[in-house]
Structure 1
């Protein structure tokens, strides 16, 4: 039994030889992993900025690294670029304009708080910004606004951003704007009142979670950086960093697969899970992290642990294996052919039993062949185990059940992917299989009879 809950947490960094915390949630640029989705999005935005395009959109699920991407982008912009980063999406249109003017160096905090701009109208602020943008062409400079968490912007603020995107010369935009937000921002921008805004977006990029094959290199990358001297430049290539971390890699392959399933490839969840797993392993003086530690860490973080991970972790207790065996035997028994019919012994034809009168030979009769085919059952039984909206989740559960000996399959429908176990030739076999599934914490298993 793991002891993480019974003792105070300890710093695991010295125990594993890390010079920095490998899985901090702070977007440290030293730990940036060049995932395929991130690199593709970054290059697309840089290309659009170089072409002086006006509005760009970056969306992604929570924890996929939108803020990290924006920070990487800031370091790659040309020297003559005026930058404004808006981290508070709840600003009014006027406050947004004041923040932009402040970031561009056109006004001071004193001007905003108690000076001429305290009660300035939106029109006055826009005119000041427009005069500044008009001077950039002569300086061969550009201006970029990055708005993070843009899904929380008000419709009025979004409309003000649209108006700002109209500032342009005959050949280029004077102001380039990047909106970064969660995936529901795409739905918001489809509203009828925002059609004009949506038509002005020249690039739409979406950050995806890590691919399954990227999770292990991602973990190894961060471990290698944490082992390295923080005062020296980091290695530029992911493959080299991963190779450096192989000898110190504390996660088993099964543990990495469990992390992949639990996190769904979301970097923030991977960081949380790896950090807690390392802390738990340190509390138990373990150098190696297995699936059990990962699953315990996930539960401690209130993360859902997929059935396939739980099954591997629990290794199916004896009662479950016994129920599975009963299920299998029931299936076999139900499908066995009945024993061959054996006729009673008859005396040879032409002989007479003692004391009996001779009789005429009887006509030959046709006995049923002992190997005659047995009629198929008129009904069969299936177990409805679970339903999922995604085919991948349904396949995971069905695959785990198949590995445990259940005849599981996925039956797709319009909206749901159903996991079915069966068919069974008898209700007894179906009941035995249901008992085994209940032991595996499938509480809502139903038996269906089909003609």
Structure 2
């Protein structure tokens, strides 16, 4: 496809992929690559009349799309915390928006004065996991003795948010050390008076549910669960439209058949949609097209398809 992209875009792609035709110039490949990518990004945004790139896979609460399933996830998260549930599972295939929803909820709780912590990749060592949780709450332990650290953590919660704390542990499918799961179970059992101190949200892939269910002591504490899936066709179209509008583009960019194809190719998973939309816009801008049709999307899918997890899409459909 490189030969079909105009010169400036093709050079940017080649630099990004590591092609170096400037060995005799003495110029830094990194500086050249940065300059070209920056110019390419400006060309991309200028071509589509965008104020920013709308399909970055970054966490931006302003970009949140309230699909029915994601709204339901937020409702269950709110219920779990407000009703002082000890443990909730939030599962789904890669790219479904699990982390996005969990971080939005944790951020909203924090804005409302709740002691909230989000741990992106939990440590597999039990003591380090507690240190990591403390750090997420803004604590620096002066000691590494387990129960003293937990006492410090509990004191922080009780003195800062009316005795209730929210803890989100993400990517838990990789946390299979039994002793770490025991620490999670211990935290869910902590109370002050008749109130639970922690509501813990475990976020992870489908496999997380399977190995947690093997731990009967922990599984028995699960009081609520939600499994995210991809967007349907109508939601996919609204998702793409909303992101373009947020970036300043109100006119149609993708043809109807291109939008339907993108839904089919990605299973409606937001992360995969972002990747495919972004590359399609990039390719179409390089060819100076006025909109993105089915042909461009199919070519983009052929270019980056091996990076898009087919198994995740199949599990979602």
**Structure 1 counterpart of 2:170, from 148, 165, 179:** 148
TM-score, normalised relative to structure 1: 0.58
Q: Secondary structure at the match of 2:118?
A: strand
Q: Within 5 A, what are the aligned runs for 1:312-391? A: none
Matched, 1:284 2:309: no
Structure 2 spans left out of the alignment, 5+ residues: 13-39, 309-313
Compare relative contact order (CA 8 Å, sep 6+) and give the higher one, 1 or 2. 2
Query: CA 1:14–1:93 in 2, change beyond 3 Å: closer, same or farther?
Result: same
Instruction: State the shift of 1:125 in Å.
Output: 2.0
Q: Whole-Å Cα distance in 2 between the matches of residues 134 and 13 of structure 1?
A: 48
Residue in 1 that maps onto 2:181:
158
**Structure 1 counterpart of 2:11, from 5, 8, 12:** 8
Aligned Cα root-mean-square deviation (Å): 2.5
Instruction: State the shift of 1:157 in Å.
Output: 0.6
Instruction: State the shift of 1:299 in Å.
Output: 0.8
Contact 1:223–1:249 (CA<8 Å) still a contact in 2?
no
Matched, 1:94 2:127: yes
Q: Secondary structure at the match of 2:52?
A: coil
Instruction: State the shift of 1:132 in Å.
Output: 4.5
Q: Secondary structure at the match of 2:300?
A: helix
Q: Whole-Å Cα distance in 2 between the matches of residues 283 and 100 of structure 1?
A: 46
Query: CA 1:124–1:171 in 2, change beyond 3 Å: closer, same or farther?
Result: closer
Matched, 1:198 2:219: yes
1:372-422 per-residue CA deviation (whole Å, 9 max, x = no partner) reads xxxxxxxxxxxxxxxxxx8x98xxxxxxxxxxxxxxxxxxxxxxxxxxxxx
Q: Whole-Å Cα distance in 1 between the matches of residues 136 and 259 of structure 2?
A: 43
Structure 1 spans left out of the alignment, 5+ residues: 229-244, 306-389, 394-451
Contact 1:60–1:66 (CA<8 Å) still a contact in 2?
yes
Q: Secondary structure at the match of 2:217?
A: helix
Q: Whole-Å Cα distance in 2 between the matches of residues 3 and 54 of structure 1?
A: 56
Residue in 2 that maps onto 1:177:
200
Instruction: State the shift of 1:303 in Å.
Output: 4.4
1:218-273 per-residue CA deviation (whole Å, 9 max, x = no partner) reads 10000000007xxxxxxxxxxxxxxxx3xx11111111111011111111111111
Query: CA 1:56–1:173 in 2, change beyond 3 Å: closer, same or farther?
Result: same
**Structure 1 counterpart of 2:51, from 7, 19, 44:** 19
Instruction: State the shift of 1:103 in Å.
Output: 3.4
**Structure 1 counterpart of 2:153, from 116, 124, 129:** 129
Q: Whole-Å Cα distance in 2 between the matches of residues 267 and 88 of structure 1?
A: 21
Residue in 2 that maps onto 1:437:
none
Q: Whole-Å Cα distance in 2 between the matches of residues 303 and 255 of structure 1?
A: 19
Q: Secondary structure at the match of 1:178?
A: strand
**Structure 2 counterpart of 1:71, from 73, 81, 103:** 103
Instruction: State the shift of 1:200 in Å.
Output: 0.4
Which protein has the larger Cα radius of gyration, Structure 1 or Structure 2? 1
Query: CA 1:205–1:5 in 2, change beyond 3 Å: closer, same or farther?
Result: farther
Q: Whole-Å Cα distance in 2 between the matches of residues 29 and 128 of structure 1?
A: 31
Matched, 1:187 2:210: yes
Equivalences, count:
278
Residue in 1 that maps onto 2:228:
207
Query: CA 1:204–1:47 in 2, change beyond 3 Å: closer, same or farther?
Result: same
